[in-house]
Copies of this chain bind each other. A is one copy, B any other.
């Protein structure tokens, strides 16, 4: 019997861990709660009706179909027993392992205000994106019914909390969508009056980027019609809108892009966690006291250098996944594991159409149309599977030239009164 490597999670880290074990003399079992891998950097384009869910997601078992030593199982891992070397799958019992790779990622966090989630959904899964899409479209549908001016204004106000790349990208596409695509479709109000507010508690947008880039992003967003509010943390989110101290923005639709908390499975390992619930892993991504357990992706807290932690971005998750896979193979083959070295591939964020910001290391930063084309190229290249790439390119071309969006479906049907 070849040794058994169990991978929990089919995101960037889990998938790349599985691929790294392709030629290793091991059996691999990847367990995920969904049947699909999601290209998370484009989730916001499902939320904003630009892309269909199937454009950015593919079945995990289809991605790994040619890897004969990998079995994919749809299941919800509810526990890990490090002493017994087994994981517990809801309704299916235990799966034993010789090495374990935990790559269950993160969820959005509400900083101790969990009730806010009902009013301000975050964006981590396809379901999250469909929920956002539905809330946005229903707000416009409700605006067509209402005769009350204040209610209509609140329905047409969209607040996005969090000024990181997700918040910036979500905010940047909404004004044009309302002004161009939606305006001809409504009769009783002007969809172009929709108001988008981006709220960031910190001093500036895109805090991971240089200050100059943050300023460019802010200016670009404001030109698109986005109201940018920085420096005042949100103190309350309710069905009525968002409060920042003494200020209140009346809004029926609030989206959350303001923070992450690691998957609860980290706690199940019984090892030290950081404040965000991430597992403080060793250099080789293994867990203290359990060299046969590795953690990769957003669930892992690992040092970049003395001052910084590796950020929770897709390239970092892929790199960690690959190393966790090869280290598991090394361990089982009796070879010394190797430490993780983060290769910074730069940071990118789009701002509406034609604009983006890109940063590579401390010296290189560019903005505007070149950055936007780079963003386009990188995202198309990384999309899993030829079909998706082609479909996404065509839909983007369609949206770019016609200003229309293809995926404005509300499913399941919900009456606007509901």
Contact = CB atoms under 8 A, between A and B. Distances in A.
A188 interface: yes
A130 B91 contact: no
A246 interface: no
Contacts of A145: 73, 75, 92
Contacts of A137: 35
Contact of A33 (B72, B92, B406, B415): B415
Contacts of A387: 395, 398, 402, 404, 406
Interface string A9-20: 000000000000
A185 B125 CA distance: 23
A413 interface: yes
B75 A35 contact: no
Interface in A359-418: 387-388, 390-391, 394-395, 398, 402, 404, 406-413, 415-418
Contact of A91 (B35, B75, B410, B417): B417
A184 B130 contact: no
A53 B415 contact: no
B71 A410 contact: no
Q: Closest 10 CB pairs between A and B?
A: A91-B417, A34-B413, A61-B185, A54-B407, A65-B184, A74-B141, A35-B410, A76-B415, A71-B187, A52-B52
Given A33-B413, A34-B413, A75-B416, 19 more contacts: A35-B137, A35-B141, A35-B413, A59-B409, A62-B404, A68-B187, A70-B187, A71-B187, A72-B185, A73-B144, A74-B410, A74-B415, A76-B415, A89-B415, A91-B416, A91-B418, A92-B145, A92-B416, A127-B412
